[in-house]
Amino acid sequence: MCLAIPSRIISIDDLIATIDVYGARRQVSLMLLPEEPRIGDYVLVHAGFAIQKIEKERLESGEIMHEASIALSIIDIVQAKCMEEGCHSVDSIRLRIGRAAGILPEALVFAFDASKDTTVAKNAKLVIESVPVGGTCNSCKKEFEAPDNAQYVLSCPHCGSLSYEITRGREMEILDMETN
């Protein structure tokens, strides 16, 4: 699976590039990249390898920034709350994310870890509670839950009706945080 985190190449030394992910610097291998990168290019990184070059247009459209911008807003919220309560550091942040929220938890954790270094959340761990997709059928009026890790429902599992309301599984919220 590809983690959709854009990283900017800031230097290249043979097949190793130093990348910048929202202020955090890491070294990645360029071995798997099909095209020759240049300094300033954005690449997708997975498990220490740059795997794909990203077109600037896709970056600017916001298509790829999704989890990264969510991570940054979590950090903003946590910093503000921490300032308000006068805490020194944050140990963990509990989130509730619906499976139909369109957020990849792994990508969010990656983006969060890459963004937290210089913030009050630098030692914080994201604890993600995943909410199954659920709803109510308009035909048989029963409630249902999508099985396993499904991100969507095709029909009511009780009666097969295509008319239903999704009531759970789209949420994304910060539940609480542990501070000291």
Residues that bind Zn ion (CB under 5 A): 137, 139-140, 156, 158-159, 161
Cα distances from 141 to residues 136, 145, 159, in angstroms, run 6, 13, 10
Q: Which residue, 71 or 156, is less far from Zn ion as judged by CB? A: 156
User: At its nearest, how many Å lie between Zn ion and the CB of residue 137?
Assistant: 3
User: At its nearest, how many Å lie between Zn ion and the CB of residue 154?
Assistant: 12
Euclidean distance between CA atoms 73 and 66, whole angstroms = 11
Q: Which residue, 79 or 155, is less far from Zn ion as judged by CB? A: 155
* DSSP 3-state of 111: helix
Which region, left, alpha or beta, applies to residue 151 given φ > 0 means left and ψ of -120 to 50 means alpha?
alpha
Q: Is residue 142 exposed (0-12), middle (13-18) or buried (19+ Cβ within 10 Å)?
A: middle
Q: Which residue, 9 or 156, is less far from Zn ion as judged by CB? A: 156
Euclidean distance between CA atoms 111 and 92, whole angstroms = 15
User: At its nearest, how many Å lie between Zn ion and the CB of residue 113?
Assistant: 42
Q: Which residue, 122 or 141, is less far from Zn ion as judged by CB? A: 141
User: At its nearest, how many Å lie between Zn ion and the CB of residue 167?
Assistant: 14
